[in-house]
Amino acid sequence: MEVASSPAPPLDGTTLTFQIKEVQSDSVPRSFYEYDKDGLVISPPELAEDDLESSTSQSQSSSSPSQPSTPLYPLPPTPRQNLVLPEDLKTPDNHVERDPRLIRLTGVHPFNVEAPLKDLYDEGFLTTKDLHYVRNHGPVPQVLDSEVLDWEFTVEGMVEHPIKLTLRQLIQDYEQVTYPITLVCAGNRRKEQNVVRKTKGFSWGAAGLSTALWTGVSLGDLLSRAVPKRGAKYVCFEGADKLPNGYYGTSVKLNWAMDSERGMMVSYKMNGEILHPDHGKPLRIVIPGQIGGRSVKWLKRIIVTAAPSDNWYHIYDNRVLPTMISPEASADVPDTWKDERYAIYDLNTNSATCYPAHNERVSLAEETYTFKGYAYAGGGKRVTRLEVTLDQGKTWLLANISYPEDRYRNAPDGETLYGGKVDLTWREASFCWCFWDLSLPLSALQNAKDVLIRAMDDSMMVQPRDMYWSVLGMMNNPWYRVVIHKDAHSNSLWFEHPTQPALLPGGWMERVKKEGGNLTNGFWGEKVSGDESETVAEEPAKEICMMDPAALSREISLEEFRAHDGEEEPWFIVNGQVYDGTKFLEGHPGGAASIINAAAQDISEEFLAIHSENAKAMMPSYHIGYLPPSSLSLLNSPSSPSSSSGSSSPSPLFLHPKKWLHASLSQKTKVSSDTKIFSFSLSSPSQAIGLPVGQHLLVRLRDPVSREAIIRAYTPLSPGSQTGTLDLLVKIYYDSPSMSGGKMTQALDSLPLGHPVEFKGPVGKFEYLSAGKCALNGKERQVKKFIMVCAGSGITPIFQVLRAVLAEPIGPECLVLDGNRVEEDILCKPALDKMAAENPDRCKVLYSLSRPEASWTGRKGRMDKSFFEQEVGAPEEKGRTMVLVCGPHGLERLVEETLRGLGWGEEDVVFF
């Protein structure tokens, strides 16, 4: 047969074709790539054809047509021709072609994916680029095919002879090798940990691993030419992927890099093709036997050092911290993060069951069923046994194991594959996954509750029975358990895996947890004698329709949409639908500025993250049409003038009403047991925050598990004129046994120092101008007295206005009513007391505690209706007194109901 296809562009940019031909050879399978020099051969005019040998592995000696066609070793399956997917068009990765079967673990971007477990297993020993897992921290660098051979990288640091090479020179001057290597993400199987308790990582399933044939140059050969100096102990790698905390980088020990048995390489081909952009095009490090996070992609620098890498991603990623460190506590242990004892290098032994697949059914009419799966070990160790139990570990059965990697050791002397020598005959190390299988009688399965497996490596290290939970959720490798269910109606069995990846529902762990089972009770959450806990029914999610059926057929052009970017008729987009905010400029709780700042923007993420179900239910009234997907992609492209994300060069003011801008977390100051001041460094020491008095800003983080946006409004403790830094006073709502805590506050608390956080603003309907003059929804008014009501961290906007008012020699009177539970909860109390003492004629602060200690001499009790009737009363001079309120919803409702009954008008009571 002959089939024309085009799996990847050639390096010189010409049109690529290759032929799939029938070949009979000891070392070549029947369906096999045979590339011509205009295909995957890298042979531009500057290079001789043998500079980048492309033949995909014909043995140097021909074989007789009468010989069997079974190859000596596996070769990759046929790759697919993919396209840029629609969801990637509006991201910085709009140049990357991808397989739609891949499961996205962190939303649309950055691209972090794994294949469906069944599909991964079915591809066999070698994984195509289409289904190979991907771990990206940010945008994929774009490298044109014409630029590949001129890609430069360096070998520098503690070396006698620093090297600067192009990929062309690397190919010309060094011996090429080709090895099969399995790469595994340290987060493989993390979803299981996240079900038990959320970690700071997103939810990998059991397919966070893949195997490919990698071609390149031995890292040891490269370092030998550079000659490391005395005292050098580490090799650091740095990629070209620019991220919020610098370029991605990490390190390994120098003696490992120099050891040919470790097999580390600088690679430029994957399965005979130039590297796919997601996998490091055009050059990457590949480190066998270690976690994938050490195999740096888009390689630019190799630095020999005396100490481990100080790169942010080396320190704050790929570590297994002690299990007692919680996500909340992890933010306050910088020395622990830097402790190299907790850094992960070699993989641990792990395994999974692939067949039966999740929810697969088997008829009891069958006699046997063959269980199948994979196993791997780390550091070159070999998996030596795979054991299966049907009685939860009382007895075990030994499964069969096959090692496809060993077939490469049979390659003839001098064999080349994709231009690199295939020479594994001398190597003892094992760097690939292996496969196991075991046929079990259906009668035995029918009498069992589950099937559990465990693997052992050649150092006799065996997978543990129980999970070792850690804050990053890495290296999860307890026994893999598949639950067996009996279906009498269909006379069959069906099987349930532990979890499904990402946010996909399913798995016995989620089911058991929802039913009230304790997943850490040592019995996989099953109820045991004396355990009478009740099941917990999960409340179904509400579906809110935000569209007007009459508007669904109206297509709005990008030009028409962009024309509505001002104050008079602001249009905005949520989920591809266009809304006209004009009618809500007066009534929006956040003020007209919130809508005006959204004009001509796609605000889907922040709208859905902030607004209530009631607000979403109002949206059909404002729905006017839709923007076509092609126009939406242009609107959201990084180069779009209306793009609402990204950073800009430093300007005099930090905040921008239509752009999310980064500031780095620089300090945390503990104020009380549950409150901290979070300080952020701005782009420049001379840059002012730029927040008007009385307004607030939006803060955006990503949920560490789902990667969904968490957006909340805060009023900084810092005045808007402060330069260089921004301080947020935040009360942290921690998880409790009976209630989930605050997503944003716990996420902020778990951030390590140096981590970027996004800000946008200002927003808000109230602004204090000066000398008692303020503006509400843009309308100015003169105020003689402010009554300020707050509770807990609601003090921050009150404090901001109070400080500005009292900073003026003449201005309004201020009465502050501050309610809390205990004295420790009173935030900013020394500053409030000082302002009251310095301005006795203009400022009075009244505290009220609902649970005071015996030593408290102030007011006791809640701020209830009688409290406000007594302390606030009816308005003395209508229109000249304004009430400012910030606190829990219950307090705000109480204030509103009480003051309305006392005769206060709607325009006189402002809720922040």
Give the DSSP per-residue string, 197-222: S--SS----S--EEEEEEEEEEHHHH
CA distances from 136 to 139, 180, 297 (A): 7, 22, 9
Dump the DSSP string for 744-791: HHHHHHHPPTT-EEEEEEEE-SEEEEETTEEEETTEEEE-SEEEEEEE
| 3-state secondary structure at position 652 | coil
Q: Is 432 a catalytic residue?
A: no
Q: Which residues pair with 375 in a beta bridge?
A: 351, 434
Number of H helices, E strands in the chain: 20, 47
Half-sphere exposure of 215 (CA within 13 A, CB side): 27
Backbone angles phi, psi at 596, to 5 degrees: -60, -40
Which of 651, 727, 657, 715 is CA-nearest to residue 683? Answer: 651
Whether omega for the bond prior to residue 162 falls within 30 degrees of 0, making it cis, is no
The C-alpha angle with vertex 833 and arms to 830 and 836, in degrees rounded to 5, equals 150
Query: Which residue among the candidates 245, 318, 477, 597 is catalytic per the annotation?
Result: 318
Cα gap 404→124, rounded to integer Å:
10
Residues 6+ apart with CB under 8 A from 372: 121, 353, 354, 355, 435, 436, 437
Look up 185 and say whether it is catalytic.
Answer: yes
In angstroms, rounded to a whole number, what is the distance separating the alpha carbons of residues 93 and 87? 10
Residue 13 identity = G
Residue 606 backbone phi and psi in degrees, to 5: -75, -35
Say how far apart CA 475 and CA 256 lie, in whole Å.
21
Residue ranges for the known binding site for Mo-molybdopterin are 185
Please name the amino acid found at residue 765. K
Residues 6+ apart with CB under 8 A from 387: 396, 397, 398, 399, 453, 454, 455, 456
Could you tell me the two tokens for 33?
């790539």
Residue of 26, 112, 145, 185 marked catalytic: 185
What sign for the dihedral angle of Cα 710, 713, 716, 720? positive
Query: Residue 210 pairs with which residues in a beta bridge?
Result: 183
Interacting residues of 158 by C-beta distance below 8 A, sequence separation 6+: 228, 229, 231, 232, 304, 305, 306
Nearest of 10, 5, 52 to residue 33 by alpha carbon: 5
Cβ contact 645:660 at 8 Å: yes
Distances in whole angstroms, Cα of residue 403 to Cα of each of 408, 431, 477:
10, 11, 21
Point out the annotated binding site: 185
Length of the chain: 912
Measured between alpha carbons, how far is 87 from 598 in angstroms, rounded to an integer?
22
DSSP 522: S
Which one of 119, 278, 317, 908 is the catalytic residue? 317
Counting Cα atoms < 13 Å in the Cβ hemisphere of 800 gives 30
The C-alpha atoms of residue 504 and residue 498 are separated, in whole angstroms, by 12
CA dihedral 221, 223, 226, 229 (to 10 degrees): -140
Residues 6+ apart with CB under 8 A from 629: 86, 89, 576
- Helix 829-838 and helix 795-806: axis angle, to 10°? 30
Query: Tokens 């005292």, residue?
Result: 231
317 an active-site residue?
yes
Catalytic residue annotation = 185, 317-318
